[in-house]
Structure 1
Amino acid sequence: MLRITSAPRKDWTRLAESLGFKFHTIGGEAYWDETAYYQFTMNQVEQDIEDPTAEIHQMCLHLVDKAVNSEHLMERLRIPRFFWDYVRDSWLRRDSHLYGRMDFSYDGQSPAKFYEYNADTPTSLYESAFFQWLWLEQMVEEKKLPPDIDQFNIIQEMLIEALVLLKKQKMAGEPLYFSCSQDSEEDYGTVEYFRDCAVQAGLGTQFIYTENIGISPEGQFTDLEDRTIPGMFKLYPWEFMFEEAFGSYLPGSDTLFFEPPWKAILSNKAILPLLWQEFKGHPNLLPCYFEDEKPGDDLGSHYVKKPVFSREGANIAVMDDGKTTVTVDGPYVDSGYVLQKYQPLPVFAGNHTLIGSWVIADRPAGIGMREDSSVITRDSSRFVPHVIRE
């Protein structure tokens, strides 16, 4: 695993803008960064990233099956009691799911260590699936990279394949709505990319902001023209959905949601100590405990304190001998915490590097690389492309 400096493509920012990648710069700082790329061997990708991703995904599904049949675990996962049957029924129906992203620390030599699983509302999809592949193609065309170079990236192909299956099995000619909040350009870009994949899969599509979703007198979700919403891809977390004014209508609604309600179990960090309880000692897992339980000696005094509900590094703190050494502000202050053994990210040229490993349906599909000067990866952390080369 190497970090290799590289000359950016000419006029790539203009290209990004023309393709709708308008969040390539965040707060005046580069988000997409092609001044370097990461290089892996095929064995590193297949054995050290792809295989653990597939295995941990199956471990997580095992825990979903266990959790929906346990009131104790549902309480641990902080899913409101009102929605327990809703989540359980979704799992028992095997409601289709589309995507998720696992985050790993990996240095190219030691086993990849699993940080967490955003299985409900992961972002960085567009840049992982499309823009870094376009970068690779153009770098080869410009002879800046050899023609036999590759990338672990079949995200878009697998996503379209999953959406084709969804169209055949579930939607029956009905439109699939796409939704996100009004205040995030990155979320909108992710949703629009997903929507474009759905169009390529032959689905009819509509868009609606989450704030504009209505409820009919019959308790069904509706759009601005009072049409019932048959299916919706929502880039809006289930824990937020449960708290919304329309939340009480979810169990009685006929809307097919993506990600499905059972993903509420995998999208919060309470799954991390449950994984450690169930698969303690697994080479890709880190010791992890609930804040209110006595941790094992394997946690040590250097650990990370993570809110049960948190995204993009918000409200995460690195603790050492009872003192906070690094922390990130955010809104997630009332969901309880888990304590995970501190596993530092590898550092390349002064950059702390995280691997996001994508799961489409139930299969590993590709990776995206994030860099930051901080040990905590945030929403503004740079995205850097990667290649496979022997």
Structure 2
Amino acid sequence: MKRLVSEPRPDWKRRIEEQGLVFSTTALPDGRNVEYWHEGAYYEFTMDEVETLEQTAEDMHLMCLEAAKFLATGAMGTIGIGAEALELAGESLQAGDADIYGRFDFIYDGLGGPAKMLEYNADTPTGLIEAAVAQWFWLQDVFPEKDQWNGIHEALIRQWKKLQYRTGMSTLHVAHSEAEESGEDWMTAAYMRDVAGQAGWTTIGINMSDIGWDPNLNRFVDLDNFLISTIFKLYPWELMMKEPFGHRLLQRAHNPRWLEPAWKMLLSNKALLAALWHLYPDHPNLLPAYLDGPGPLKEWVAKPLHGREGDNIRIHAAGIHLEQPGGYGREGWCYQQFHALPDFDGNRPVLGLWVVGGESVGCGIRESDGPVTDYFCRFVPNTIDAPAPLPPASNQGQAYSSKAGIAP
């Protein structure tokens, strides 16, 4: 893997916004603005690297399912979600409730050593539009002769088609929280409506706060009192369980088909890292991890069990004593061995490996200046050092650019 310099397109800002990446500009505390999308550089993989990392992600996904089964037994406590939520997650896992997607975060330096898993964002993964769409368009504009590690768009359509075939359902509600103000959740939900629509679903957008309960039907309904039978929600399960309607979620027989399903509570929780290390000690793609304390670790990263975007992370390592702000931590902590991010001339990347239906389908790379990949990181596109394949029958250029303004 190499980090190579590239000349930004003159109208890159307009282009990414037309493609749905409307949340690229982030305001710093000092008033300055930074751009999340960065095309002044790109990372290039060899095909051998891609194939190895794909296999790693798929193997790790299967290992995470085994770790989720272990967590569901309660052997590591209630992992900050409570006994009822843990039982619900276990029932969902045992029932084989269908899922759509997830994103692993891996450390990888391209120097021949194994990639190391940092975490699995499998309930509400974001970073989707830039990985599936924006970097694909960048490739067509800048390096049309090259290939890219990116089959995310087609894989999502296939997965939605499989779900429709499996369930016989045709109407999908898509929900996000309007409390998220950057626009990322809104556009991610819009994009999910788009790929589901291409798979044959009729989609209906709704805010999480507008989901209602009909006591006569004993079911969740939308604003038109229309029964919600299948719903994709971009909202964490652990927060859903704490909402006023949270107790209704325990009545599985009266619930819609939730996507992501309740068992994703077990994969998005940082306790998963400790469960993995317990089940697969010394695995080359894992970092040692423990609950409640660092145990034998001399250098460690403390992660709140429900944390996101680097919030509240604490690092204790040689020359680094850092604590990120945020509102997490009361739910408990996981302590993972510290592993420095690779350094490409001051740029520290993390690979986001996307998994759809258990299959590794693409990569999105975020890089930071410091040891934590947080709100101020940069997304950098990728290429593969190989000729571009023939274009697929359905691609992002035909599928999404004309629908970037679709409202969820």
> Please, what TM-score do these two structures have when normalized by structure 2?
0.88
> Does residue 50 of the first structure (1) align with residue 46 of the second (2)?
no
Q: SS where residue 87 of structure 1 aligns?
A: helix
Judge conservation of contact 1:219–1:249 (CA < 8 Å) in 2: no
1:318 to partner: Cα distance: 0.6
- Amino acid across the alignment from 1:287: P
1:5 is matched with 5
Q: SS where residue 267 of structure 2 aligns?
A: coil
Q: Distance in 1 between matches of 2:16 and 2:71?
A: 43
2:36 is matched with 31
Q: SS where residue 166 of structure 2 aligns?
A: helix
Q: Distance in 2 between matches of 1:243 and 1:10?
A: 47
> Does residue 113 of the first structure (1) align with residue 116 of the second (2)?
yes
Q: Distance in 2 between matches of 1:86 and 1:289?
A: 24
Q: Distance in 2 between matches of 1:78 and 1:178?
A: 27
Which residue among 161, 164, 183 is the counterpart of 1:164?
A: 161
- Amino acid across the alignment from 1:362: G
1:223 to partner: Cα distance: 1.1
Q: Distance in 1 between matches of 2:283 and 2:162?
A: 34
1:172 to partner: Cα distance: 2.1
Once the two structures are superposed, the pairs formed by residues 95-114 of structure 1 within 5 Å of their partners are: 95-109=97-111, 110-114=113-117
1:367 to partner: Cα distance: 0.5
2:69 is matched with 65
Q: SS where residue 122 of structure 1 aligns?
A: coil
Q: Distance in 1 between matches of 2:255 and 2:332?
A: 32
> Does residue 285 of the first structure (1) align with residue 286 of the second (2)?
yes
Judge conservation of contact 1:317–1:324 (CA < 8 Å) in 2: no
1:76 to partner: Cα distance: 4.3
Judge conservation of contact 1:120–1:237 (CA < 8 Å) in 2: yes
Which residue among 197, 207, 210 is the counterpart of 1:209?
A: 207
2:330 is matched with 334
**Alpha-carbon displacement from aligned partner over 1:54-110 (angstroms, at most 9, x marks no partner):** 111110111223333x2334x243332223442222112211111001101110012
Q: SS where residue 68 of structure 2 aligns?
A: helix
Once the two structures are superposed, the pairs formed by residues 122-201 of structure 1 within 5 Å of their partners are: 122-141=125-144, 147=145, 149-173=146-170, 175-184=171-180, 185-201=183-199
1:381 is matched with 377
Once the two structures are superposed, the pairs formed by residues 172-321 of structure 1 within 5 Å of their partners are: 172-173=169-170, 175-184=171-180, 185-217=183-215, 218-252=217-251, 253-292=254-293, 295-296=295-296, 299=297, 301-320=298-317
Q: SS where residue 108 of structure 1 aligns?
A: coil
2:406 is matched with none
1:374 to partner: Cα distance: 1.6
> Please, what TM-score do these two structures have when normalized by structure 1?
0.92
Judge conservation of contact 1:179–1:209 (CA < 8 Å) in 2: yes
Judge conservation of contact 1:77–1:271 (CA < 8 Å) in 2: no
1:324 to partner: Cα distance: 6.7
Runs (4+) of structure 1 exceeding 6 A deviation are: none
Judge conservation of contact 2:81–2:331 (CA < 8 Å) in 1: no
1:370 to partner: Cα distance: 0.3
1:144 is matched with none
- Amino acid across the alignment from 2:307: S
Q: CA 1:67–1:305 in structure 2 vs 1: closer, same or farther (change >3 Å)?
A: closer
